[in-house]
Structure 1
Amino acid sequence: MPFLSGSARLEQSGECEWTLLSDVVYRDPDGPDGTPGDTWIAPAGMRTDLASVPRVAWAILSPFGLQTRPAIIHDHLSREIPEDLEGSALRCTGWRMHRQQVDRRFRTSLVEEGVPRFRASLLWMGAVMGRWLVHGHHAQVMAMVATLLLSWASIIAGALLMPSWWGGALLGAPFLVGALWGRDRSAVWTAQYPGMILLALGIGTAVVSLVEWAISQASGPRATIARPKVRPISFTPVPLRSPHPEPPVPREGASEHQT
């Protein structure tokens, strides 16, 4: 049982931000030696953007659902500062190792909650990309961006040249390049292949949202609904009655069996 608390209770406090109204408690899977894993608590009052999914991608990958509690724990642990990293730069090796463990815990909790593995891989891929953007050196960030751009160009060119062997080589080249990213290679593979389709769908959704915004701006200010004023209605409150009336109390002096 990964989560020791009930469903997460949230109150929207911003356009893409929510406030946690109750604690969310998560326990790591048992260690290899059979000992219980660590327990983590996201406290009530914490603010979160859940899985950090851009709003234009909500129609494709919603931040709500079975992934809500894992996203809250991931958000909480990402903000926690371990004692050995206090005062350290965000781009140091220690921070990247810490976030790598947090991201792995995120993927594990997603699977334990019953999130389909493909969706869990997409959400985990987003967490890994965010980790490199925040905690990676500038050269590493540029290398990641270049890897994805060249991979997508190679996949598109390979699809156009199929069924030639050149097409197959171009389609398989990103897989070999992604293997160079070590433990994060699965996330890079997800970003290279399914991520390209997700990016295309996100761009299409963004275009539709932009057109809708432009039409809304051109149509003028939002109309208000005029309600006629009515006199207040006076009423007499009805006293509450018990749904199960109590049995009558016998009078003093009455016999037990009356004729």
Structure 2
Amino acid sequence: MPFLSDDGRPLDELALAQRPADGYRFELQAPFVYVDPVSGRHYPVPAQRGQQVDTDLASVPSLVWAFIASYGRQSAPAVMHDVHAAPFDDPASPDRRAELERRREVDRVFRTALREQGVPRLRAGLMWAWVSADRERGLAGVAGWVFFAQAILGAIVVVAASVLAFWNIGWLVLAVVPAVAAVPWWRRAPLMLLLNYSGAVLAPLVVLQLAAVLPFRIIEAIVELVTGGDPGSVVRPTVVWGSGRDREA
């Protein structure tokens, strides 16, 4: 088992404390290590006093929790990824290219760890794809922003082709355009394809989820308003202002 406790035994417990008690972030209470079966490298996750890992587990938007939960089999890989994907102290370092390559490897390890934990292949692929897209946007400069924009635009094109095909089947040809446009990315082409076509599949499902959740949230907010509560509390996480500074609640 690639996840081990600090004494080398298979990890049988992920010790997390919810901080604050009504919040959404967690603090790791006991260290563990992940051993990558591909490279053999060890990825330690510390939890010494003053060095506790502060995490929101898998950073999954609440609208897609019905498809991919923020915790579960993916919890240990997500905590490990939070630690090792953190940028170096100087993000403007001239070694930015090296940092990008390092992050690509960390993200690959994240995907491997998800599969090792029994996360279904498609779900693991989707989680890897979207953290990878965010990595490219954040570290690859202008090319990264172009990559990120193309990932979104390609998904829109596939959705548009699918909708227009109801009137004329010939519009389905448009769905091939993102695949052709992905070729110039070379090694990143498979990632682009996954982003384009998985985004197209998920988009209608997220819209349906929003259609189901939004009316309930509105009702919740109305009840809070009528009873003198806080309508903003129906959406979490939120920001609470007080004592001259903001804190996440």
Shorter chain as denominator, the TM-score bin is 0.7 to 0.9
TM-score w.r.t. length of structure 1: 0.72
Q: Report the CA distance between 1:158 and its aligned residue.
A: 4.8
For residues 114-133 of structure 1, what are the structure 2 equivalents within 5 Å?
114-133=118-137
Distance 1:143 1:182 in 2: 12
Instruction: Give the match for residue 111 of structure 1.
Output: 115
For residues 86-235 of structure 1, what are the structure 2 equivalents within 5 Å?
87-89=90-92, 92-138=96-142, 140-158=144-162, 160-161=164-165, 166-219=170-223, 220-221=226-227
CA contact (8 A) 1:50 1:71 kept: yes
Q: Residue 52 of structure 1 aligns to a residue in which SS?
A: coil
Q: Look at both structures and tell me which one has the larger radius of gyration over its CA atoms.
A: 1
TM-score w.r.t. length of structure 2: 0.74
Instruction: Give the match for residue 69 of structure 2.
Output: 62
Distance 1:215 1:165 in 2: 41
| 1:50 corresponds to 2:57 | yes
Q: Report the CA distance between 1:10 and its aligned residue.
A: 1.3
Cα–Cα, structure 1 residues 190 and 182, in superposed 2: closer, same or farther, change >3 Å?
same
Cα–Cα, structure 1 residues 17 and 141, in superposed 2: closer, same or farther, change >3 Å?
same
Q: Residue 62 of structure 1 aligns to a residue in which SS?
A: coil
Q: Deviations over 1:191-224 (max 9, x none)?
A: 211222223322333344333232222222378x
Q: Could you tell which deviates more after superposition, 208-217 or 124-133?
A: 208-217
Q: Deviations over 1:116-158 (max 9, x none)?
A: 1111101101211221232232453144314432442244325
Q: Residue 18 of structure 2 aligns to a residue in which SS?
A: strand
Structure 2: which 5+ residue stretches go unaligned? 6-10, 230-249
* Matching residue's letter, 1:205: Q
| 1:21 corresponds to 2:29 | yes
Instruction: Give the match for residue 2 of structure 1.
Output: 2
Distance 1:162 1:208 in 2: 25
Specify which structure has the higher proportion of strand: 2
Structure 1: which 5+ residue stretches go unaligned? 32-36, 224-259
Instruction: Give the match for residue 237 of structure 2.
Output: none
Cα–Cα, structure 1 residues 147 and 123, in superposed 2: closer, same or farther, change >3 Å?
closer
Q: Report the CA distance between 1:73 and its aligned residue.
A: 0.7
Distance 1:75 1:176 in 2: 34
Distance 1:88 1:64 in 2: 29
Distance 1:191 1:102 in 2: 19
Cα–Cα, structure 1 residues 141 and 72, in superposed 2: closer, same or farther, change >3 Å?
same
Aligned length: 214
* Matching residue's letter, 2:24: C
Distance 1:159 1:90 in 2: 46
CA contact (8 A) 1:20 1:46 kept: yes
Cα RMSD (Å) of the superposition? 2.7
Distance 2:93 2:193 in 1: 25
Cα–Cα, structure 1 residues 155 and 176, in superposed 2: closer, same or farther, change >3 Å?
farther
Percent identical residues: 29
Q: Residue 3 of structure 2 aligns to a residue in which SS?
A: coil
Distance 2:209 2:93 in 1: 33
Specify which structure has the higher proportion of helix: 2
Cα–Cα, structure 1 residues 11 and 199, in superposed 2: closer, same or farther, change >3 Å?
farther
